[in-house]
């Protein structure tokens, strides 16, 4: 299994073992990650096949991974998702259509399509296969590889300088990251410091809410210079309590995470 997926799974298992408010979410996410890693491995190890980048062409292969994910959700998911998974197992055509719809017009509420396409899009990114049929808006606030929206931001130490770190955004579709300016809203591009606000609690010392008063959107920033062993996608879910704070103040998340927070 690739180191990327292993890293996510190990971190999710570790944090799920803690008694935190996000225990249930993380336990489910750890199982989801296992299913996604399985999808990724089955795509990667497929003989004589590389993705074309055009989902319409690749969908027969991608959909062969659907039952494994659906079974995982049926077994470990919250009740509503579990029954949806059961229904989709009986009617696979519906999900195949949702995959294409999500590819062309992504939405963070299309849980199954998003969960299935993340390992596919990651495999495209790793094989540098340009995505096709996905002509999204673009711009510096979208993933330069696939056009996806940012799931979160993270700070990591710069190699050679004493600067406090560089900020990257992580793509919600292909899970790769791109460098982004530090004091700018990742949703609307607002730069005026007075319009940008941050919230941080001692419980999650390495995580903060990065919100914008111009567009009323937010995402979470994971500071790896404070906690190097954090894994952004997983720690973002671990700190679900911070989302509550943001929602209570009227901010909307730029992109809900895979467990719907
Ligand atoms: Zn992307
Ligand atoms: Zn904004």
pLDDT in tens, 234-255: 999 999 999 999 999 999 999 9
Ligand 1 centre distance from Cα of residue 145 (Å): 5
Look at residue 58 and tell me whether its pLDDT is greater than 80: yes
Q: What is the pLDDT of residues 198-227, one digit of tens each?
A: 999 999 999 999 999 999 999 999 999 999
pLDDT (0 to 100) of residue 53: 95
Ligand 1 centre distance from Cα of residue 123 (Å): 11
pLDDT (0 to 100) of residue 224: 96
Ligand 1 centre distance from Cα of residue 86 (Å): 29
Ligand 1 centre distance from Cα of residue 247 (Å): 26
Nearest ligand to the CA of 195 is 2
Ligand 2 centre distance from Cα of residue 171 (Å): 17
Ligand 1 centre distance from Cα of residue 20 (Å): 30
Ligand 1 centre distance from Cα of residue 239 (Å): 23
The pLDDT confidence band at residue 186, using thresholds 50, 70 and 90, is very high
Nearest ligand to the CA of 170 is 1
% of the chain at pLDDT higher than 90: 90
The pLDDT confidence band at residue 159, using thresholds 50, 70 and 90, is low
Ligand 2 centre distance from Cα of residue 243 (Å): 17
Q: Which residues surround ligand 2, an ion (CB under 5 A)?
A: 185, 187-188, 190, 212, 214-215
Instruction: Calculate mean pLDDT across residues 130-149.
Output: 88
pLDDT (0 to 100) of residue 166: 85
Ligand 2 centre distance from Cα of residue 216 (Å): 6
Nearest ligand to the CA of 211 is 2
Instruction: Calculate mean pLDDT across residues 41-64.
Output: 93
Mean pLDDT estimate for the chain: 94
Ligand 1 centre distance from Cα of residue 150 (Å): 8
Ligand 2 centre distance from Cα of residue 125 (Å): 27
Of 135, 123, 147, the C-alpha closest to 52 is 123
The pLDDT confidence band at residue 46, using thresholds 50, 70 and 90, is very high
Look at residue 162 and tell me whether its pLDDT is greater than 60: no
Ligand 2 centre distance from Cα of residue 257 (Å): 19
The pLDDT confidence band at residue 161, using thresholds 50, 70 and 90, is low
**For helices 55-63 and 92-104, angle between their N-to-C axes, nearest 10 degrees:** 140
Look at residue 137 and tell me whether its pLDDT is greater than 90: no
% of the chain at pLDDT higher than 70: 97
Q: What is the pLDDT of residues 15-35, one digit of tens each?
A: 999 989 999 999 999 999 999
Instruction: Calculate mean pLDDT across residues 83-105.
Output: 95
Look at residue 160 and tell me whether its pLDDT is greater than 90: no
């Amino acid at each position: 299994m690739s180191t990327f997926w292993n890293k996510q799974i190990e971190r999710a298992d570790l944090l799920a073992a803690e008694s935190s408010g996000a225990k249930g979410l993380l336990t489910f996410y750890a199982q989801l990650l296992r299913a996604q890693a399985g999808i990724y491995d089955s795509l990667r190890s497929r003989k004589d096949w590389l993705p074309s980048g055009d989902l319409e062409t690749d969908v027969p292969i991608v959909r062969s991974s659907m039952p494994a994910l659906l079974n995982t959700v049926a077994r470990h998911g919250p009740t509503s998702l579990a029954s949806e998974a059961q229904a989709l197992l009986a009617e696979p055509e519906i999900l195949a259509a949702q995959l294409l719809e999500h590819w062309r017009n992504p939405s963070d509420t299309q849980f199954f399509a998003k969960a299935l396409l993340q390992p596919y899009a990651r495999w495209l990114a790793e094989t540098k296969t340009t995505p096709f049929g996905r002509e999204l808006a673009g711009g510096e606030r979208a993933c330069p590889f696939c056009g996806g929206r940012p799931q979160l931001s993270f700070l990591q130490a710069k190699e050679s300088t004493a600067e406090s770190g560089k900020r990257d955004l992580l793509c919600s579709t292909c899970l790769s990251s791109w460098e982004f300016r530090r004091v700018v809203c990742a949703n609307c591009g607002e730069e005026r410091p007075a319009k940008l606000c941050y919230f941080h609690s001692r419980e999650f010392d390495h995580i903060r809410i990065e919100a914008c008063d111009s567009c009323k959107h937010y995402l979470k920033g994971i500071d790896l210079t404070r906690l190097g062993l954090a894994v952004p996608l997983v720690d973002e879910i671990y700190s679900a309590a911070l989302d509550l704070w943001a929602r209570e103040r009227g901010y909307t998340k730029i992109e809900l995470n895979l467990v719907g927070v």
